[in-house]
Amino acid sequence: MDLVEVTHEYIASVKVTTQTYDLYRDVFIYDNGEQRPCYTLRSPKDESKYWAGRNLTSTDNSAAGTYMFATVMGPPIKRQGNIVKFFIAGDMIERVK
């Protein structure tokens, strides 16, 4: 199974603590037709700052909310192990789903 293509869909700018990151939905497409989605947070200022993971979940039920995912790639996160949490404004929530 070889990787054929990776698509990147920009979702929104989000806050991780005090820093702004761009949230993307990436899809890894393989030669057998399999597609594996992945979420990636990328720093618009520094390409070495990024986190990628799966299973994006909401941590609350409000109109604007805090989301999180377990990272599978990226630098270590100091206080939360492999969990990255970020805030998405209410008008951007629908783009995540």
Radius of gyration of the chain (CA): 14
Phi then psi dihedrals of residue 8, to 5 deg: -125, 120
pTM beyond 0.75: no
How far is CA 66 from its chain centroid? 12
- For the chain, what are the domain ranges? 3-96
pLDDT, tens digit (0-9, with 9 covering 90-100), for 68-84: 777 776 665 555 566 67
Q: Which pLDDT value is given to residue 30?
A: 93
